[in-house]
Amino acid sequence: MPTNILVFCETEGGKPRKTAFELLGKATQLAAATGGSVSAVVLGDTDTAALGAAGASTVYVASGAAFGTYVAGAWVKALQAAVTASGANVVLGAAAAIAREAFPRLSARLGAGLAVECTDLRAEGGSIVGRRPVYAGKALVDVKVTSPVALFTVRPNSFPIGASPGGSAAVVALDIGLTDADMDVVVTETLKPATQAVDLTEADRIVSGGRSLKSKESFDAIVRPLAAAAHATPGASRAAVDAGYAGHGDQVGQTGKVVNPSLYIALGISGAIQHLAGMRTSRVIVAVNKDAEAPIFQYATYGIVGDLFEVAPAIEKELAKALA
């Protein structure tokens, strides 16, 4: 049976986010393996030509005031309309804030199974099988959804962005028929982040600091310059956030943001299970800690036992040279 895949492409500033291209690239591979097709759905005004070039044959669009900012009722109804219009039996979305709320609602409306936080997808026996971490990242399990429509959310950075296959997509406007009940939330103001750094959930490189930094001043003086030198996004452990060294938006872990970068540098982070749950799938983990018995060294690709106040500036200096 062909697998027809619909990719929910999130946007920012009128352009598709990086995750859109990651998912379209993987969807194209899966569809080729099963003889299916790839389409995309975009909510809000954006550049649909880029999505066609990335592999979507059709782009379903819902635009207008209701889709300028995320409103759960309206957006889930639009996603449902896109699934119906496309005839998709597999729907992919990034495991980020919007899909984490919208996909469970969409699952309930469609009566569809949902596999969340996947880090890999593969075609097997005419179906799509997802692989996801469980038990705070201690193990990986394969998930097969048996309902007629299968929903998957995928962690950002799980798939590389390959060469664009080119091509163009037919653009189809969705007929949704919104009611007042769908607009159950009124957005009165949207605040832009103070920093221009890539969001933690999509960052390819992250430098995180823990409570060992001792103060906000030290955090700003050690973590942020090293992150800048590494072309990375700053992050923090919950202990560092609770101590006021960084904001909650910088928190990595079970009660913060789950990240999946190619490089994760942990400065003065012991490696509590709650923190590991949020970053254990990082491809390369570099840990700096003066305690040689710190649990994080069990998971680190490279471990440095030493004073972070000496080691971090040395790493920063070398990275500045290498990446200048």
Q: Which residue ranges make up each domain of the chain?
A: 5-173, 200-322
103, 114 contact by CB (below 8 A)? yes
Summarize pLDDT for 15-70 with one digit per residue, the tens: 999 999 999 999 999 999 999 999 999 999 888 999 999 999 999 999 888 888 89
* pLDDT band at residue 220 under the 50/70/90 scheme: very high
* pLDDT > 90? residue 156: yes
**Matching CATH topology for 5-173 and 200-322?**
yes
* pLDDT > 90? residue 168: no
- In sequence order, what DSSP letters do the residues of 163-217 get, joined into one string? -------EEEE------TTT--------PPPS--SPPGGG-SEEEEE-GGG-SHH
Q: State how far the Cα of 145 lies from the Cα of 109, in Å rounded to an integer.
A: 16
The values of phi and psi at residue 199, to 5°, are -55, 145
* pLDDT band at residue 170 under the 50/70/90 scheme: very high
Give the CATH number of domain 5-173: 3.40.50.620
Architecture of the CATH domain 200-322:
3-Layer(aba) Sandwich (3.40)
Q: What is the pTM of this model?
A: 0.89
Summarize pLDDT for 262-321 with one digit per residue, the tens: 999 999 999 999 999 999 999 999 999 999 999 999 999 999 999 999 999 999 999 999
Closest CA to 115 of 129, 127, 126, 102: 129
